């Protein structure tokens, strides 16, 4: 249970970091970038991989089966 919560919170933190920087990079349109250049720049940035890694961690935390003797409320 603790591992699931830890993976979920870690993944959530990575996704927040990734999404916030992607939103900040929308300002590149003001400097004359088109959508194709924007996407190619985003894919090359490390924050995009934080987003993907966070998404994978959240899915893993949701899909991990609990212990057999785990009590549910």
What global pTM score does this model have? 0.78
Please check whether residue 39 lies inside any domain of the structure.
yes
**Which is higher by pLDDT, 34 or 1?**
34
Look up residue 69 and give its DSSP letter. Answer: T
pLDDT at 65: 79
Is the pLDDT at 60 greater than 70? The verdict is: yes
Is 16 a domain residue?
A: yes
Instruction: Give the total number of structural domains in the chain.
Output: 1
Q: Is there a domain that residue 10 lies in?
A: yes
Residue 40 counted as domain residue: yes
Residue 72 lies in a domain: no
Residue 69 is predicted with a pLDDT of 65
Give the percent of the chain with pLDDT over 70.
Answer: 89
Domain that holds residue 46: 2-63
pLDDT at 31: 87
- Give dist(CA 32, CA 24) in Å, integer: 15
Cα dihedral 60, 63, 66, 71, rounded to 10, equals 120
23 is a domain residue: yes
């Amino acid at each position: 249970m603790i591992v699931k919560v830890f993976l979920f919170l870690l993944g959530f933190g990575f996704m927040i970091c990734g999404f916030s920087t992607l939103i900040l990079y929308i300002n590149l349109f003001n400097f004359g970038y088109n959508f194709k250049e924007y996407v190619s720049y985003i894919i090359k940035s490390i924050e995009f991989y934080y987003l993907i890694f966070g998404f994978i961690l959240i899915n893993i935390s949701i899909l991990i089966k609990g212990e057999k003797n785990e009590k549910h409320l």
